[in-house]
Each structure stands twice: as structure tokens, then as C-alpha cells.
């Protein structure tokens, strides 16, 4: 898919479409920093946890609880890679 001249990957998994956040911010100044800031937000972590618990039977809920407890603290940092590896998210 192309939005405002930016190519955004669309991946189909179990008959559902998913878009790439990385592609969405690729042409925005400090775009990747936006994703990092978004992932530091406690509300974002809670939303992702609810989503995964609803749609991912392999979600690592105990690991998620640890992440959720740290989210929002100044020292808290989480990458997409860390999130997916620690929680077995999709």
C-alpha cells in the first residue's frame, strides 16, 4: 500500500491484514524515535497486552506482567524486538 508516497507493507496472517509501523514512520523525521516513545507509554503496553491476550493463545502473560509493571518509569526502555521475543507476541 502507498500512503502519501510512502510504501507501507501489508502482511496477512490468519486471514487478517497487518500494516508495518516502521514503514509508516520511515519518511518522518525521528520516526523510529516516535515508535520507541510510543512503546515506553504504559497505556500502549496495556493495550498491546489486552490485544495479545485476546488474539494470541501463545502470549507470555507472566512476562507481560513484568513489562507492564516497569512501563512508564523513566528507566523503562522497550524495543519491538524485545517485546516480541519476551512476550511471544505476533
pLDDT per position as a tens digit, 24-79: 888 888 888 888 889 999 999 999 999 999 999 999 999 999 999 999 888 999 98
Which helix (H) or strand (E) segment holds residue 12: the answer is: strand 10-13
Q: How far apart are CA 59 and CA 90, in angstroms?
A: 8
What is the reported pLDDT for 69? 94
* Helix, coil or strand: residue 62: helix
pTM for the full model? 0.75
How many C-beta neighbours within 10 Å does residue 26 have? 13
With CA atoms as reference, report the closest residue to 51 among 11, 12, 9, 18. 18
With CA atoms as reference, report the closest residue to 54 among 28, 20, 89, 78. 89
Amino acid at each position: 500500500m502507498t500512503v502519501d508516497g510512502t510504501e507501507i507493507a501489508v502482511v496477512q496472517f490468519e486471514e487478517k491484514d497487518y500494516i508495518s509501523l516502521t514503514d509508516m514512520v520511515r519518511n518522518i523525521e525521528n520516526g523510529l524515535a516516535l515508535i520507541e516513545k510510543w512503546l515506553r507509554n504504559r497505556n500502549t503496553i496495556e493495550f498491546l497486552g489486552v490485544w495479545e491476550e485476546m488474539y494470541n493463545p501463545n502470549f507470555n502473560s507472566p512476562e507481560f506482567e513484568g513489562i507492564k509493571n516497569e512501563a512508564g518509569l523513566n528507566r523503562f526502555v522497550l524495543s519491538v524486538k524485545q517485546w516480541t521475543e519476551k512476550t511471544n507476541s505476533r
